[in-house]
Amino acid sequence: MRFWFVLTEIAAGFRRNMTMISAVILVTFVSLASVGSALLLQMQIDKLRGEWYGKVEVSIWLCPVQQLGGEVCVDGPVTQDQQDAIEARLKSEELSPYVADYTVETPDEVYADLQDSFSDADWTGGVTVDALPPVIHVKLVNPEDYQVVEEAVNGQPGVYLVRDQSELLSPLFDILAKGQVAALAVAGVLMVAAILLITTTIRLSAMSRQKETGIMRLVGASNLFIQLPFMLEGAVAALLGSVLSVAALWLVGKFWLVGWMSESFGTLLSRVNVSDVFVVAPWLMLLAVVLAALSSVLTLRRFTKV
C-alpha cells in the first residue's frame, strides 16, 4: 500500500514538474558524461603507461674506442674493470631494489641491431663497429625511478651517457593529463549546477504539494514518509541522467574509439574499449544518487519542521 502510494506520488510529481525534471536529467547527463570521460581518460592513460613504460628501459652507453672529445670519456674506451664496476653497482644493495634486470650489448650486437633497424638508410654504411660503444640496457622495477639509476651511474668512469626512453613519452602524458583536468573541471561546474537544479526542483515540487504535506503532517505521517516522494523524485531524475550519460559514453566508445580510432591507428595503441564504459557506469550512477541525496538533504531540512 505504502509502496504504491509513494510510487503514485512520484509519478504525480513528474507530471507536475516535467520541465524542471527534464532540466535535471539533462544537466546530470552532461555532468556525469564529463565525469565518465575523465574516468575513461584516466583508464586510457593507465593502460598506455602500463604498456609503454613496461617496454622502456634505461640505456647506459659506455665509452667507445673512437675518441669523442669534450669532457666525457677522456680516459679512452671503457675498460673491462670499469664495466665490471658499473655492473657491480647495478647489482649492489643500493640499486638492486630498482633494477629488475639488465643486459649488456657488445658493439658487434649494437652494430647488427643498427643495420637491422636502419638497413634502408644510407648513413649506416659509414658507421663502423669501432665507433659504437657497448650498451647496458637496464629494465627498471618502476620506470619512474629512472633518476636513481641515472644519478648512481652517470659520471662513473667509462660511462659515456645515460638515456631514459620514458623521457620521450612524458609530453604525451602531459597532454592527456591536462585533458583529464579540463574534463574534471567541466564536470565539477556542471555538478554544482546539477545540485542547484535538483534542489530547486525538489523545492518547487514540495511547494506545489504544500497542502498535501500539511495534511500528511496533521494526520501523523512520519517525516520520512512525507519526504520520501520528493527525495526519490530527485534521485530518479538523476539516475535517468546517469543512464543517458552511460549510453552516450557507450556510443562514443563503440563508434568513435573502436570504429574510427581502429581504422586510424590499427593495433598500435591499446585503448579503452566499450567494456570499460561498464566499469565506469556503476560509479556514475552512484554519483548521481549521491548528487540527488545531497540536494535532498540541503532542501528538505527546511521541511522537517514538525
Which spans of this chain sit near other proteins (rule: CB under 8 A)?
A: 1-2, 5, 211-212, 214-223, 225-226, 304, 306
In the bound complex, what is the minimum distance in angstroms from residue 296's beta carbon to other proteins? 18
In the bound complex, what is the minimum distance in angstroms from residue 196's beta carbon to other proteins? 28
Nearer to other proteins among residue 117 and residue 222 (C-beta): 222
In the bound complex, what is the minimum distance in angstroms from residue 198's beta carbon to other proteins? 24
Q: What residue type is assigned to position 191 of the chain?
A: M
Nearer to other proteins among residue 33 and residue 226 (C-beta): 226
In the bound complex, what is the minimum distance in angstroms from residue 241's beta carbon to other proteins? 29
Contact 143, 51 (CB under 8 A): no
Buried b (16+ CB within 10 A) or exposed e, 9-47: bbebbbeebeebbebbbbbbbbbbbbbbbbbbbbbbbeb
Q: What residue type is assigned to position 205 of the chain?
A: S
In the bound complex, what is the minimum distance in angstroms from residue 14's beta carbon to other proteins? 15
Nearer to other proteins among residue 171 and residue 211 (C-beta): 211
Nearer to other proteins among residue 216 and residue 289 (C-beta): 216
**Strand partners for 59:** 137, 163
Nearer to other proteins among residue 137 and residue 217 (C-beta): 217
In the bound complex, what is the minimum distance in angstroms from residue 1's beta carbon to other proteins? 5
In the bound complex, what is the minimum distance in angstroms from residue 303's beta carbon to other proteins? 13
Nearer to other proteins among residue 2 and residue 302 (C-beta): 2
In the bound complex, what is the minimum distance in angstroms from residue 6's beta carbon to other proteins? 10
The three grid cell numbers given for residue 22, joined into one nine-digit string: 527534464
